[in-house]
A and B are shown apart, each in its own frame.
Chain A
């Protein structure tokens, strides 16, 4: 049984009087510690898939079971708890809290998870992502790469088993993007399931598994075409 299981999941939206199907009968199973890249052009349904797994959205039909919880039928309160305890997000534009320092942004992750961890967890996580000397800086005082590292540290600090990243390198230059991918890859090695949504095919080369979407359907699911490569071999 996988950590993430989707069974015949569909998501349809009503737009301008018509119905748009974002995902259609998707079946998917993801195990713990997998490093997965979801590929697809704009409108293929990859962000919808991420939102459904992250319980930010609910399916129109089908079943989603994550970590043994049937979230497709969960109530609002359960969904909030699920997000606090099971998944953590990394966004393209980082979405750090500008009023909090780097350390406090990470501490936010610790606080919301509600897990009893040592009080230096935020500090050590920041050091882990290489920002031990920037802990009192505010987001606007950090570079894009540093901000995304803070965002990753925030997600890590929750201690949640699933990390969902939506175009995490989209705002970054190549070199910084590589650093971020290395960081995310390292988390998968620690047993955290990492799911990255991107339209950048080059990133897919470092994944354990690539899920390709087109018009709401999974059109490919397997190891990267051309074989897995190390992060430092990527070029874009």
Chain B
């Protein structure tokens, strides 16, 4: 009890420093616990949401442009040998379209998709639609123009829970509610791009309505199935593939499980990726806390040096002498853990709200993660105890006579200051003191520098990620807009001959200066065991309007392809090599089969999308699509805005959507910028962290150098001069720490961007970048926060009892 009481007195004597350390530890453990909890929440919430809305077990997609009878497609699933394993099988019709959701003077024209679902008997029973506002589809909606609008899109554009939209062909649809469905828990653009919430509208309509809008009565191009518990998915998949081949021999099909759904995969992969980030950031923050705790523990032990020596002289065992400083470490740890739990709960509340906003799901579960908090508490507890143990271990190993010695012979040395003994420093002695002082306590300087640097590293890591995304978008946009920044992509609702009236009407529109028919086709690239989904644009590679940049170009005799840098890297190919392209080939009027062709890599393109690939329009014969188009690239006429072209072409027969070439990059940039608001919280936390670490160091310095400061006062130096010396010393440390933090931060960011992110976002070729603004913010935070820290000791300096301090004999 004596040791405990004594240690509590030690604690009380330095309560400000103790609280500072406890807060530093709390920030580390709290952020770790709070952020890590979100990983568990996401995992259970995703599982529950997919289960609640009956995510399919198998999904059959027909190749682009292919349609079959909906009834026949369902029959195939019902007629496989193990049909008893099938719980539900529902044909769907997915129709690409343009959506006009303009309201209250705001033009909202985006591409979208009609998802025609079977609403009979309370359906759909697979990939259900859950209403977040209004109501979901009901059996009575069959054949009506009622639909449910995707909640993400509505949220981004602040649309009401009920309303009207127009789709291609001028059809008006009434949405009766806003909803969520498993394939659209995360909204991907037409080419699998993420963060497309505002630029892509999914609409759930009765199957017959979709068939009517698409002009495909009775048709389907998609089938989703759920299986009964215990069913062998692989067997069903095999039987289904066989049955489809037999029933629709000329139609290409793809069968996937839930993992084949990009959004599904990304959502789960994102949890792992984010958790890794949280771990890294928490480790860095905790490292900062450890350095700070080590500084304080060292100082406390140093202050007890004589008492430990007296204890040793009196024969007290070393382990007993170690109890008191270790108890102080434990008490700091306990305080840190208590604060940490509070901060963790706070972070959890904030993050829970952010997650609900970012990922609207039908089920969100945010239970208290006892295990995660226990782990964080254990780390938070162990850190200061360990930090205290090292100086304690050193202190109890000193000879008693050394420990109890007083007066000048016990004074501490000058650390590394003698290194500068012969170096002529400019200015008066008071101007030279800061740099000398930095070197006098090299261990503390190092620990402080590392602690602050760790905070800066976190800042660069977090904000640099956003900068890297934005830089990547800028890079892509530069490539897309280089010679024709205003052009628009007019997607057609089907394949048309280039001379078809639907195409010439677009080309000859008074709103259009020039039109160029192209083909856009999905495909897969194969090389060895590597398969990459791709989206091939067949364009005129010699076009004067715009053509893709082709780096390291080679000539090829047969059909050639230009790959994105990232695809070429992942496939391990160079210009001149060949790859296998699996692509649709027209087989009749409305059916397409998937075939494999060997194509030569003509060069690489700098677009940061792995799926981006280009072929020459004249190679369309490979797809049996020579003279056929499904997209027209148009340049607006002079003095005609993009919006005017969109409005003008909307409703034109054959037009599915009209989008500026920069529509996607604009949207993503906007969403990332809105995410920056959350990052301000990180900035504030890092600022607080750096400030606390610096304050802790400054406060220890003030403690340790009290006699020197008293001497300065005795010689008539003013408080502000003494404070200036401390401030300049902090500035020097701040500069070192910031430089180190920026350097290591860049390395960490580069590792995150090139090593970690590709695991979650393999389709994006993100470039490492830190904006000038971020450099400035990080430098300012690091330098300013650290420099101002000594100002918090001004009260102590002003109240110093100079005569008593001068006579203190350490």
Complex alpha-carbon distance, A51 and B710, angstroms: 13
Who on chain B is nearest to A148 by CB? B408
Q: Is the CB of A99 within 8 A of B717?
A: no
Map CB proximity to B onto A96-121 as digits: 1 under 8 Å, 0 otherwise. Answer: 01111100110111011000000000
Q: Which residues on the A side are within 8 Å of B428 (C-beta)?
A: 107, 111
| Those of A103-158 within 8 Å (CB) of chain B | 104-105, 107-109, 111-112, 136, 138-141, 144, 147, 158
B409 vs chain A, min Cβ distance (A): 7
With a cutoff of 8 Å between Cβ atoms, the chain A residues found around residue B684 in the complex are: none
Q: B422, B429, B432, B718: which has the most chain A beta carbons within 10 Å?
A: B429
Question: Which B residue's beta carbon lies closest to that of A158?
Answer: B715
A84 close to chain B: CB less than 8 A: yes
The complex places the Cα of A33 from the Cα of B412 at a distance, in Å, of: 36
Q: Is B269 an interface residue (CB 8 A)?
A: no
- Greatest chain B CB density within 10 A among A47, A77, A138, A166 is at A138
Tell yes or no: B757 within 8 A of A by CB.
no
Among A77, A82, A100, A139: residue with most chain B CB under 10 A = A100
Contacts of B437 in A (CB 8 A): 99
Measured CA separation A109–B715 after assembly (Å)? 8
Indicate whether A88 reaches chain B with its CB closer than 8 angstroms: yes
Q: Is the beta-carbon distance between B807 and A98 smaller than 8 angstroms?
A: no
B715 contacts which chain A residues (CB < 8 A)?
Answer: 83-84, 88-89, 108-109, 112, 158
CA–CA, A170 to B440, complex, Å?
27
Contact partner of B714 (CB less than 8 A), chosen from A47, A83, A111, A171, is: A83
A113 CB → nearest B CB, Å: 8
Residues from chain A with Cβ under 8 Å of B440 in the complex: 98-99
- CB closest chain-B residue, reference A136: B421
Interface status of A94 (Cβ within 8 A of chain B): yes
Given known pairs A97-B433, A111-B430, A144-B409, the reply for A82 and B806 (CB within 8 Å) is no
Is residue A93 contacting chain B, with contact meaning CB distance below 8 A?
Answer: yes
Pairwise interchain contact A47-B807, C-beta atoms closer than 8 A: yes
In the assembled complex, which residues on chain B have CB atoms less than 8 Å from the CB atom of A80?
A: 713, 716-718
Are B417 and A83 in touch, CB under 8 angstroms? no
Q: Is there an interface contact between A56 and B802, defined as CB atoms closer than 8 Å?
A: yes
Q: Is A57 an interface residue (CB 8 A)?
A: yes
Give Cα A166–Cα B716 distance, bound, in whole angstroms: 17
List the B side residues contacting A138 at CB < 8 Å.
413-414, 417-418, 421
Please classify how large the interface on chain B is, using the bins under 10, 10 to 19, 20 to 34, 35 or more: 35 or more
* Of B409, B422, B714, the contact of A89 (CB 8 Å cutoff): B714
**A62-83 residues at the B interface, CB under 8 angstroms:** 77, 80-83
The residue in chain A whose Cβ has the minimal distance to the Cβ of B809 is A93
Which of A92, A95, A112, A144 sits near B708, CB closer than 8 Å? A95
Bound complex: CA A111 to CA B417 (Å): 20
Known: A56-B803, A98-B414, A111-B430. A147 touches B714 (CB 8 A): no
Query: In the complex, A93→B411 CA distance in Å?
Result: 10
Q: B residues within 8 A CB of A54?
A: 714
**Interface residues as binary, B682-724 with A (CB distance below 8 Å gives 1, 0 otherwise):** 0000000000000000000000000110111111111000000
* B708:A97 contact, CB within 8 angstroms: yes
- Which of chain A's residues have a CB closer than 8 A to the CB of B708? 95, 97-98
Chain B residues, CB < 8 A from A140: 411-414
Would you call B430 and A108 a contact (CB within 8 A)?
yes
* Nearest opposing residue in chain A for B435, CB measure: A99
Q: Decide: B422 and A136 in contact? CB cutoff 8 A.
A: yes
Q: Tell me which of A82, A95, A144 contacts B716 (CB under 8 A).
A: A82
Q: Is B426 at the interface (CB under 8 A from chain A)?
A: no
Name the prevailing secondary structure of the B interface residues. Answer: helix
> Does B436 have its Cβ within 8 Å of any Cβ on chain A?
yes
Q: Point out the residues of chain B lying under 8 angstroms from A83, CB to CB.
A: 713-716
Answer whether residue A27 sits at the interface, using C-beta atoms and an 8 A cutoff: no
A158 vs B715: C-alpha distance in the bound complex, in angstroms?
9
A-facing residues in B754-810 (Cβ within 8 Å): 802-803, 806-807, 809
Chain A contacts for B409, CB-based, 8 A: 144
User: Please, which residues of chain B bring their CB within 8 A of the CB of A24?
Assistant: none
Answer yes or no: B407 CB below 8 A from chain A CBs: yes
Residue of B nearest to A89 (CB): B714
Counting CB contacts under 8 A, is A85 at the interface?
yes
Q: State in angstroms the CA–CA spacing of A171 and B421 once bound together.
A: 26
| Complex interface: chain A residues within 8 A of B718 (CB) | 77, 80
Q: Are B408 and A144 in contact (CB under 8 A)?
A: yes
Chain B window 715-755, contacts with chain A (Cβ cutoff 8 Å), 1 for yes, 0 for no: 11110000000000000000000000000000000000000
The answer, yes or no, to whether B198 is at the interface (CB within 8 Å) is: no
A158 CA to B432 CA, complexed, in Å: 18
- How far apart sit A89 and B805, CA to CA, in the bound complex (Å)? 14
List A contacts of B803 (CB < 8 A): 47, 51, 56-57
B428 and chain A: residue at smallest CB distance: A111
* Inter-subunit contact B414/A104 (CB<8 Å): no
Contact status B716-A112, CB under 8 Å: yes
Contact of A112 among B417, B707, B717 (CB under 8 A): B717
Identify A93's interface contact among B408, B413, B436, B714, CB under 8 A. Answer: B408
In the complex, A95→B810 CA distance in Å? 11
Q: CA A102 – CA B436 in complex, angstroms?
A: 13
List the A side residues contacting B421 at CB < 8 Å. 101, 136, 138
In the complex, the answer to whether A84 meets B806 with C-beta atoms within 8 Å is: no
**A57 neighbours in B (Cβ, 8 Å):** 803
Which A residues touch B412, using CB under 8 A? 98, 140
Q: For residue A99, which residues in chain B have a CB less than 8 angstroms away from its CB? A: 414, 417, 433, 436-437, 439-440
By a CB distance below 8 angstroms, the chain B residues around A92 are 807
Say yes or no: B408 contacts A98, CB within 8 Å.
no
State whether A98 touches B707 (Cβ < 8 A).
no
The distance from the CB of B408 to the nearest CB of chain A, in whole angstroms, is 5
Cross-chain contact A95 with B711 (CB below 8 angstroms): yes
Q: What residues on A are CB-neighbors of B802 within 8 Å?
A: 56
CA distance A108 to B712 in the complex (A): 9
Q: How far is the CA of A109 from the CA of B439 in the complex (A)?
A: 22
Residue of chain B at shortest CB distance from A81: B716
User: Which residues of A lie under 8 Å from residue B710 when comparing CB positions?
Assistant: 95
Given A47-B803, A54-B714, A83-B714 in contact, is the A100-B413 Cβ separation under 8 Å?
A: no
**A residues near B809, Cβ cutoff 8 Å:** 93
**What chain A residues lie within 8 Å of B413 (beta carbons)?**
98, 138, 140
Q: Interface 1/0s, chain B 286-326, versus A by CB < 8 A?
A: 00000000000000000000000000000000000000000
Name which residue of chain B comes closest to A114, CB basis: B716
Inter-subunit contact A85/B716 (CB<8 Å): yes
Cβ contact within 8 Å between B407 and A56:
no
Q: Which A residues are CB-close (under 8 A) to B433? A: 97, 99-100
**A91 nearest in chain B by CB position:** B806
Closest-by-CB residue of B relative to A77 is B718
- A124-B96 Cα distance, complex, nearest whole Å: 92
Q: Which residue of A lies closest to B439 (CB)?
A: A99
CA distance A136 to B421 in the complex (A): 6
Expressed in whole angstroms, the Cα–Cα distance for A136 and B712 within the complex equals 21
**For B418, what are the chain A residues with a Cβ–Cβ distance below 8 Å?**
138, 141
Type the 1/0 row for B400-428, where 1 means its CB is closer than 8 Å to any CB of A. 00000001110111100110011000001
Complex: how many Å from CA A75 to CA B413? 37
Q: Which residues of B contact A47 (CB under 8 A)?
A: 803, 807
- Residue among B407, B418, B714 with the most chain A CB within 10 A? B714
Known A-B contacts A91-B806, A95-B806; the reply to A147 vs B408 at CB < 8 A is: yes
Q: Please give 16 more A-B residue pairs, beta carbons under 8 A apart, in addition to A47-B803, A83-B715, A100-B433.
A: A47-B807, A56-B802, A80-B713, A83-B713, A83-B714, A95-B707, A98-B412, A98-B440, A99-B433, A99-B436, A99-B440, A100-B429, A108-B430, A112-B715, A140-B411, A141-B418
Closest 4 CB pairs of A and B: A84-B716, A83-B716, A99-B436, A111-B428
